[in-house]
Structure 1
């Protein structure tokens, strides 16, 4: 019997953090386009409501809240399970960036970046793993990180540190969870043209953004990973725009 290089994700259920814009919203659209159901989380209720209105109530549910709160992550998973009876995928995508030297931002900005980019990823994963274990049939953990997690640049030390932390977390989780049928994938895009870091080191409409990846590019990579046969796992995927200098 020939081996199929893809599997259908129609009917599967995903929870996505940072889902109100950028990569998160693009991922929601991509997964629903493939027949999946999505619970989307973010702080901006109006953005989430608009996205769910676009995707349809039968395909999506909005769960507004702050991903830095461990209990919120439990609520996001619970909302998916309540609506569709299970969870198959967690996409830990929420992230913020603020560029500048090590002394250029106050403590509150740096704390929010560490908590959003790293601790919130931990809370998202823990919530999903509890549900995957309760179901007993594995699941997918997708962590959206950055190429900065492999090669930190000037004026992004704290941001890069949070991304290095995600790289270490992902690698360890793969070794811990794969025997339970859970796949852990680290998606690492280079610069992506979105609202990310606008006003905190990037300027809206700048020529530089034209050379970057688009959120749909990253969403496509996530869909491809999920559509692989369960016998295959992708641990790290780095993406660069052909125009951006590496």
Structure 2
């Protein structure tokens, strides 16, 4: 008999849910019978998904740079579905360029979103996960979390920070029954950073990972038997060389 867990009825909060990896994850989990709480700065783009979910999805405005928004999203989950089983901290932005290529304001937005925003999101979810007797936290980072290169220095720095956060949380929350996983994909075929160092016409995009690949990884982690945990899942497409 398979030990994989059935996600039917599981309540999963997803940030950055209106596009790319977040949206693909929401659709994947809904197809598996989960109930999803979708956070985004623009919830209007989620109207169709919510309306077609037969009550299994709800969306709330959430700018993860604001602790109050993160707390409100978790409260929405509990109010709607009664509990939180898992958090997918996915929201983030990318600015690819040299150290002097962006304004102070834009770099600060990226730093606040990718690192501080992840912290605010996790802090808002942890009390609910503990109350529920455990659960999962998945932080969607990047292969840049483990290596930096030209035109990615500041972006990679924010992702390096997510590694430290995830490792510490894994040690801190394990005894509470909370598993913490860092999902670290290579370049993915989404609109992430398009116009900020990436272009839609980039020929290499045809060899990138698909957002559905990352959604598959997230679902696989959530389905693990509770007696085990995956701390890091790095992903790269077959067409990409060693990074």
TM-score (norm 2): 0.97
For the pair 1:132 / 2:129, whether they are aligned, the reply is: yes
CA distance in 1, matches of 2:171, 2:54: 37
What stretches of structure 1 move > 2 A for 4+ residues in a row?
none
> 1:207 matched to which residue of 2?
203
Alignment partner of 2:109 out of 101, 108, 112: 112
Partner secondary structure for residue 193 of structure 1: coil
For the pair 1:222 / 2:218, whether they are aligned, the reply is: yes
> 1:186 matched to which residue of 2?
182
TM-score (norm 1): 0.96
* Stretches of structure 2 lacking an aligned partner (at least 5 in a row): none
> 1:245 matched to which residue of 2?
241
Alignment of 1:71-220 (within 5 A): 71-135=68-132, 137-220=133-216
Cα-to-partner distance string for 1:3-62 (whole Å, 9 max, x where unaligned): x341111111010000000000001011111111000011112212233234x1411001
> 2:51 matched to which residue of 1?
53
Question: Kindly tell me: are residues 175 and 145 of structure 1, through their superposed partners in 2, closer, same or farther at Cα, counting changes over 3 Å?
Answer: same
> 2:42 matched to which residue of 1?
44
> 2:61 matched to which residue of 1?
64
